[in-house]
């Protein structure tokens, strides 16, 4: 299975898409799922999906760790043509994941009890994001 999932984002934050993946895996057996984010200003992460404050706090931490380019602390940045949120988005992507490898058993991702799969949007404006999903049978 090799497909490309589309995720519409509406500002910075985490967007769960485990359900879309589960639908693609349905009917598959054992193997390996690879997720690959085709962007450098959005990324992938696996986080707790029980309390929504977890992903809210995660996004808040990254916003403080890597402020927008118009913050005095970021005056060293040169890549500014696409807006003050652009280079920080590249940095946040580098600090998280572009690819995830998830073992699959009987057509189901072997996630822990509280693990959700998220696209992490780092840009301020709405974007259409693409994640390649590949299943290889073992």
Q: Which residues bind a copy of itself (CB under 8 A)?
A: 2, 30-32, 34, 36-41, 45-48, 51, 53-54, 56-58, 60-61, 64-66, 76-79, 81, 87, 90-91, 93-103, 105, 110-115, 130, 132, 134, 136, 138
* Cβ–Cβ < 8 Å for 88, 68: yes
Closest distance to a copy of itself from the beta carbon of 19 (Å):
18
Nearer to a copy of itself, 10 or 105 (CB): 105
Q: Count of alpha carbons within 13 Å of 122, Cβ hemisphere only?
A: 32
* Ranges assigned E (strand) in 10-98: 13-16, 31-37, 42-48
Nearer to a copy of itself, 26 or 138 (CB): 138
Nearer to a copy of itself, 10 or 51 (CB): 51
Q: How far apart are CA 133 and CA 100, in angstroms?
A: 10
Q: How far apart are CA 105 and CA 101, in angstroms?
A: 13
What token pair was written down for 121?
A: 């949007």
Closest distance to a copy of itself from the beta carbon of 8 (Å):
16
* Cβ–Cβ < 8 Å for 39, 130: yes
Nearer to a copy of itself, 57 or 70 (CB): 57
Closest distance to a copy of itself from the beta carbon of 93 (Å):
8
Closest distance to a copy of itself from the beta carbon of 105 (Å):
7
3-state secondary structure of 50: coil
């Amino acid at each position: 299975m090799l497909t490309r999932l589309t995720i519409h984002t509406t500002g910075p934050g985490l967007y769960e898409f485990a359900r879309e993946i589960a639908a693609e895996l349905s009917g598959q057996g054992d193997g390996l799922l690879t997720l690959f984010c085709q962007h450098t200003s959005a990324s992938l992460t696996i986080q707790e999906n029980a309390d929504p404050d977890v992903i809210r706090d995660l996004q808040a931490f990254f916003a403080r760790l890597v402020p927008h380019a118009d913050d005095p602390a970021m005056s060293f940045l040169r890549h500014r043509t696409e807006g003050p949120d652009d280079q920080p988005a590249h940095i946040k992507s580098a600090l998280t994941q572009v690819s995830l490898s998830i073992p699959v058993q009987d057509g189901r991702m072997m996630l822990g009890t509280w693990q959700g799969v998220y696209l992490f949007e780092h840009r301020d404006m709405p974007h259409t994001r693409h994640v390649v999903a590949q299943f290889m049978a073992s």
